Amino acid sequence: MKCSIASDKFRRKFAEQIEEICGERISLCYQCGKCSAGCPVAYAMDYLPSQITRFAQLGLIDKVMKSSTIWICASCQTCSVRCPRGIDLAKVMDALRILAKRKGIVPKEQIAPLFDGIFLGSIEKYGRLNELSLITKLNMASGRPFKDVSLLPIMLKKGKIKLKPQKSNPGKEVRYLMRKVEKLESK
Amino acid sequence: MMKVAYYPGCSLHSTAREYDISFQLVCRKLGIELQEIPHWVCCGSSPAHVTSHLLSIALPCKNLILAEEMGLDTVVAPCAACFNRLKIAKQEVAEDSKLKKEVQEVLGKPSAGKIEVKHPLQVIIEDVGLKKVEEMTRRKLQGLRVASYYGCLLVRPPSVINFDDPEDPQSMDNLVSALGGEALPWAFKTECCGASFSLSETDIVFELSGEILNEALEAGAECILVACPLCQSNLDLRQKGIEKRRGKKFNLPILYFTELLGLALGMSMRQLGLSRHIVNPSKLLERKLAVT
Amino acid sequence: MARIGVFVCHCGTNISATVDVKKVAEIAKGFPGVKFATDYRYMCSEPGQDLIQKMVKEHNLTRIVVAACSPSLHEKTFRTCTQNAGLNPYFFEMANIREQCSWVHDDREEATLKAIDIVKLATAKVGKNNPLQTTFIPVEKKVLIIGGGISGIQAAIDVAFNGFKAVIVEREPSIGGRMAMFDKTFPTLDCAACILTPKMVEVNQSDLIKLYTYSEVEEVSGYVGNFKVKIRRKARLVDENKCNGCGTCWQRCPVRLPSEFDMNLGKRKAIYVPFPQAVPNVPVIDQKHCLYINKKKCGICKKVCPFEAIDYEQEDEVIEEQFGAIIVATGFTMFDHSIYGEYGYGKYKNVTTGLHFERMLNSSGPTGGKIVRPSDGKEAKKVVFIQCVGSRDEARGMPYCSRLCCMYTAKQALLLKEHNPEAEAYVFYIDIRAAGKNYEEFVERVQDEYGATYLRGRVSKIFQRNGRLMVRGCDTLSGTQIEIDADLVVLATALIARPDAIKLAQMLHIPYDQNRLFTEAHPKLAPVETVTTGVFLTGACQSPKDIPDTVATASAASVKACGLLSHEKLPIDPQIARVDVEICSGCLACKEVCPFGAIEKEEIVDRVTQQKRWVAKVAPSLCNGCGACNTACRPGAIDLDGFTEEQIFGQIESLTADKGNER
């Protein structure tokens, strides 16, 4: 498949967007591949992390945003610690996910972004995470209603999850905080 | 008596109750008074930093301010993910004046940025000191072969965490040695367990945590020591599933370092909440340490 | 009254694009003493220089100012031009409106104003210039070569070939350096020893070359033509004149130690020659480990030596010699990969470096030419080579490319296959840099003919599993992660400056860069010179170099050194310090601050009192004209020719006269 590379101006703008979110400069990457070599989840990605950086350098936004790579990244920062150019690639991956969410181009089959949304919804409601509601909602949303159901009895027995949410509920505070963040970010 | 603010985080109130219990008990014994931050909120964990940078900083800052208001100079966060997020938020706000202003706008008041964020390991090693711990040991972990597993967030990024080595950390190993156990050298101390994919991409957890269990077993471990509820949960709760997939028995108890420390300080398994583990550690501990 | 001519250069568009040169010339016409001013496209060109000479005649000019580039580039050109116009060459000043103005500014108006000020300063100074005469100093016809690796050896041979004397000072007990450790050399695969040892022998046999091995340069003073150098000859405890290298002593010595020359893969004795072809073939006693020195026990070597050459009482000796020129050939050291936790922090025995591998390849080396795992001595069949370890790593290593690792790794992969056709070679690389004669062809041969597997990507982690090394890398070309279980890993570690490079640089007054590599006078046009006249560079102390490049720079440096030595006398810059003995109080504060040792105490008879008294005296051959004494002199007895107080204050006044309140 032929790709026409985006214009200089377009590419620079994309790189600047990334830099603005995470402070990292993708232009520094010289494609040594050390990030890809050490990535523990690369086996589950469609493109290697270094390839994503290359696509980003070339301004191939679609290829970046539609890849599974940015959603599979576990934020373990192994790449960041070892990068000879000092790029914090984990932060770049964050920035790419944030951009994808902003642009509304999140691949439907990705479960990680669903998880993120439900997780944040949970703390928006309760101020703290409610595991049981997280599991149920995620299973429903991802079309896997019976996932991990077999674990529930033992988790309940061992006191790992509770049926009732905690007494203390600082949800109001978190909601207020989230509104403020949204307002600032939409500016 | 040392007094510190305590940020348990969501996990220690749910999946990692035994970490909470054992940490509190150990602190009492070592002369550390924990004061839980009133009305603390979730740190946002990974879902926040992959969704909104500002949110991922504002949530931990909210907790830092609450802790500052308690008039204490240190906050301790046992969950490696919370610890990591609190540390990063503190550093980023200190270094980025624009971000600092935005965070103030969101939270309505500034964070002084003076409160120190510590992981329990730091408190025990740096503030209490291994020498004192060794002196207080009532039950030596004689002959117990322990693989210490640190995971990602306790050591990375080193520029922010600035605590232990990101490739071959030693703090838990030193603790194990001080308690008389055998700290095994192995190469997977900081490999990723799959962390937050536990619920969403469980296959990844099976693969990554499976590698860690396998490597620990190959290194001769009888149990794995952890300092993070996410690591513990992935290695413990998913161990059965991993065994099934790999067709290999591991039967490796995944212990919090606070539990092992508690045992060494003379506490019982029941006190420390060890019955809450999925992979039952009591046989191993009874056999090796003659504890009940 | 001086009649000044001002010539403003366009330097193509280098200056004129940012500075309005016509305006500068126009305004210069109004400066005091200026009788003529013009602009011209290239002042350094022949027509440019002709223009100066023509205008001197036409306008009867007595002083020249050229506003152009840096004096370091063209001051000499225009001094000569001034002289050719019949004036004293020091009746010339250069106004640097390029490096210090046009190149660093972009606002044309402001830059033009600055250029005008720079020219004004030069005209104010040149009017007060005194005629200076060049003086000459005799030249000591001997070259000091610091370092006895292939670089120093070649330099010595070339100096001697030109008929001059050379002295090699080598820190180790033998000359030969790193090259002596190599097995074969790329891309021709000739044996390193076979091509090096004849040169070592030549050096040893030459009447013109003197060797000080096991010796170090301790102090350097003086100046081009007359360097005074103190050399510490460390106690060998073996008399070089008596010993004939029979080897009885080291055969009988009971102490076995790891051999540094064999990268600790083999053993040596406490009395030893580092390798069989050592020059001189005289052993040295390792004082740290010798039983006699430490416990007054043993003493076998002394008992068995048929020539009574062992002398336990021998002490270090510091000698002083004079040299006309110095060639620095101190070479490199290897980057320590133990900073990389992901490669095991140097803990894994089977993770080695290229130099270890060279010693293993060598049939006279510690393994007899067998490639083995250092952990258990078993043959290594699967070998992973990793390039750029410490090179091209701004985060934790060196930012630069070490230049020869691509080639020696290819060579090592090839030799591995030659030693054992069943062996497998995997090379992780980022880019293959094979820019040399027959280099690319060589790498292709290694891949195609010998079947070495090249994988494009940096290795992220090495760890041990069941006694084998697990290497986690990737191949970015296929987009896959690669895991290889290897017997042996060979790291191509970066070539870096020696740890004491800065100390030597300070001793020689030569600059070094952020990587502690010595800096040449000009990266293109003076690659073996330094800014200190008479000190030259060769080999890897300047930047990583392979053997051909090292030998080429060695020959180049020796030609430069011999060029100096071929003069009976050398001109010295007359712009040096001058003491007015009438004013000098003899406090000698100047002597304290002089970094060149150029000030001596002199007894004179006072003109008025007819009493004897002490004053300071400047040795012209040593003075560098730095001006340190000038500022230290409280009575104001010292002035610097070419930069007199009158000149400097004249410059300041010229600027403050009309804008006193403005700036």
Contact A37 C456 (CB under 8 A): no
Q: State the smallest CA–CA distance between residue B135 and chain A in angstroms.
A: 34
Nearest CA-CA distance, residue C393 and chain A, Å: 5
Distance between A119 CA and the closest CA of chain B, angstroms: 7
How many CB contacts within 8 angstroms connect chain B with chain C? Answer: 17
Is C472 within 8 Å of chain A by CB? yes
Per-residue pLDDT reduced to its tens digit, C243-257: 999 999 999 999 999
CA C67 from chain center: how many Å?
A: 33
Closest Cα of chain B to C394: distance in Å? 16
Asked if the Cβ–Cβ distance from B197 to A112 is below 8 Å, we say: yes
C464 shares contact with chain B (CB less than 8 Å):
yes
B99: nearest CA partner in chain A: A21
Helix/strand/coil for C35: strand
Average pLDDT on A98-108 reads 92
Write the pLDDT tens digit of every residue in C121-156: 999 999 999 999 988 989 999 999 999 999 999 999
Contact C529, C432 (CB under 8 A): no
Report the top-level CATH class of B129-289: alpha beta
Q: In the complex, which subunits touch B with 3 or more CB pairs below 8 angstroms?
A: A, C
Task: Check if the beta carbon of residue C489 is closer than 8 Å to that of residue C352.
Answer: yes
CA C18, C22, C23, C29: dihedral to nearest 10 degrees?
A: 140
Phi, then psi, of A60 in degrees rounded to 5: -85, 70
Per cent of chain B over pLDDT 90 is 92
Residues of C in contact with A32 (CB under 8 A): 388, 392, 430, 457-458
Q: What is the pLDDT of residue A159?
A: 87
Percentages helix, strand, coil for chain C (3-state, rounded to 5) are 30, 25, 45
Q: pLDDT > 70: what percent of chain A?
A: 98
Q: Collect all residues with Cβ–Cβ distance below 8 Å to B168 and sequence separation of at least 6.
A: B189, B190, C341, C345
Task: Kindly report the average pLDDT of chain A as a whole number.
Answer: 93
Residues of A in contact with C342 (CB under 8 A): 38, 82
Contact C341 B215 (CB under 8 A): no
**Contact list, B46 vs chain A (CB under 8 Å):** 75, 116
The 10 Å Cβ neighbour count of residue C597 is 14
Give C292→chain B minimum CA distance, Å: 41
Bridge partners (DSSP) listed for residue C39? C8
Q: Give pLDDT tens digits for C64-73.
A: 999 999 998 9
Choose among C160, C184, C145: nearest CA to C547. C184
Q: What average pLDDT score do residues C179-205 get?
A: 97
Closest CA to C66 of C89, B141, C305, C86: C89
* Residue of chain A nearest C388, judged by CA positions: A32
When the candidates are 2.60.120.10, 3.60.15.30, 1.10.1060.10, 1.10.10.410, the CATH number that belongs to A9-103 is 1.10.1060.10
User: Can you read off the two tokens belonging to residue C570?
Assistant: 């050398």
Of A144-148, B119-123, B237-241, C323-327, minimum mean pLDDT range = A144-148
Dihedral of alpha carbons A13, A18, A24, A30, sign: negative
CA distances from C215 to C168, C270, C283, C502, C657 (A): 9, 19, 14, 18, 60
- Among residues 335-364 of chain C, which lie with CB inside 8 Å of chain A? 342
Residues 111-150 of A with CB under 8 A from C: none
Q: Which of A180, A185, A186 to probe the B interface (max B CBs under 10 A)?
A: A180
What b-and-e string marks burial along B122-131, b requiring 16 or more CB atoms within 10 Å of the CB? bbbbebbebe
B46 contacts chain A (CB < 8 A): yes
pLDDT reading at B40 higher than 90: yes
Q: Walk across the sheet containing C480-486 and list its strands.
A: C461-465, C468-475, C480-486
Chain C interface, mutation test: which of A24, A28, A36, A85, most C Cβ atoms within 10 Å? Answer: A36
B42–A contact, CB cutoff 8 A: yes
Residues in chain A within 8 Å Cβ distance of B200: 111-112, 114-115, 138, 142
Cβ contact B187–C464 (<8 Å): yes
Domains in chain C, CATH or no CATH each:
4-132 (3.40.50), 142-327+501-565 (3.50.50.60), 333-496 (3.50.50.60), 577-641 (3.30.70.20)
Confidence at residue B55, expressed as pLDDT on a 0 to 100 scale: 97
- pLDDT band at residue C275 using 50, 70 and 90 as cut-offs: very high
pLDDT at position C393 over 60: yes
Residue of chain C whose alpha carbon sits nearest to that of B185: C464
C430 touches chain A (CB under 8 A): yes
Average pLDDT over residues A148-157: 89
Instruction: Measure in Å the smallest separation between the Cα of C534 and chain A Cα atoms.
Output: 39
Whole-number pLDDT of residue C659: 60
CB C540 within 8 A of CB C548: no
Q: B146 with B185: CB under 8 angstroms?
A: no
pLDDT score of C135: 87
Residues of B in contact with A115 (CB under 8 A): 47, 196, 199-200
Q: pLDDT for C350-368, tens place per residue? A: 999 999 999 999 999 999 9
C658 pLDDT above the threshold of 70: no
Give the pLDDT confidence of B142-195 residue by residue, as tens digits. 999 999 999 999 999 999 999 999 999 999 999 999 999 999 999 999 999 998
Say how far apart CA B269 and CA B154 lie, in whole Å: 26
Measured in degrees and rounded to the nearest 5, phi and psi for residue C584 equal: -55, 130
Q: Is A88 on the interface with C (CB under 8 A)?
A: no
Domain with CATH 1.10.1060.10 in chain A: 9-103
The minimum CA-CA distance between A177 and chain B, rounded to whole Å, is 6
Give the helix/strand (H/E) hosting B173. Answer: helix B171-178
Contacts of B215 in chain C (CB under 8 A): 465
Determine which of B11, B52, B85 to mutate to test the interface with A (most A C-beta atoms within 10 Å).
Answer: B52
Nearest to B42 among A101, A115, A129 (CB): A129
- Say what the pLDDT of residue A169 is: 80
% of chain C residues with pLDDT over 70: 99
- Contact criterion met (CB < 8 Å) for B17 and A88: no
> Could you tell me the two tokens for C84?
């050719």
Among the partner-chain residues C342, C397, C476, the one whose CB lies closest to the CB of A36 is C476
How large is the average pLDDT for residues C4-26?
Answer: 97
Give the whole-angstrom CA distance, residue C484 versus residue C426.
9
Residues of A in contact with B17 (CB under 8 A): 159-160
What's the pLDDT tens digit per position in B63-100?
999 999 999 999 999 999 999 999 999 999 999 999 99
Q: How far is B134 from chain A (nearest CA, A)?
A: 32
**Segments making up each domain of chain B, as ranges:** 2-120, 129-289
All residues of chain B having their beta carbon less than 8 Å from the beta carbon of residue C463 are 187-188
* C339 shares contact with chain B (CB less than 8 Å): no
ipTM reported for the complex, 2 dp:
0.94
From the list C342, C458, C346, the residue with the least C-alpha distance to A81 is: C342
Kindly indicate whether the domain formed by B2-120 is annotated with CATH number 1.20.1050.140. Answer: yes
Q: Which residue of A has its CA nearest to C473?
A: A37
Which among A37, A83, A84 has the least Cβ separation from residue C474? Answer: A37
CA distance B95 to chain A (A): 12
Taking CB atoms and an 8 Å cutoff, what residues of chain A touch C461?
Answer: 37-38
Question: Best interface-test mutation with A: which of B50, B156, B209 has the largest number of A CBs within 10 A?
Answer: B50
**Do residues A138 and B47 make contact, with C-beta atoms less than 8 angstroms apart?**
no
User: Is pLDDT above 60 for C660?
Assistant: no
Max alpha carbon distance in chain B (Å)?
Answer: 58
Q: What is the mean pLDDT of residues A148-153?
A: 89
Structure confidence at residue C661 as a pLDDT band (50, 70, 90): very low
Torsion of CA B236, B241, B242, B248, to 10 degrees: 110
d(CA C244, CA C266) in angstroms, rounded, equals 25
Q: Which tens digits make up the pLDDT trace of A61-83?
A: 999 999 999 999 999 999 999 99
C425-C428-C431-C436 Cα dihedral, nearest 10 degrees: -30
> Do B192 and A41 count as a contact with CB atoms less than 8 A apart?
yes
Q: CB B166 to CB C466 under 8 A?
A: no
Main-chain phi, psi angles of C610, to 5 degrees: 60, 20
Contact with chain C for residue A40, Cβ under 8 A: no
Q: Do A84 and C458 touch (CB under 8 A)?
A: yes
Instruction: Report the pLDDT value the prediction gives residue C621, as an integer from 0 to 100.
Output: 79
Count other C-beta atoms under 10 Å from residue C302's C-beta: 17
Q: Does A72 touch chain C (CB under 8 A)?
A: no
Q: What is the mean pLDDT of chain C?
A: 95
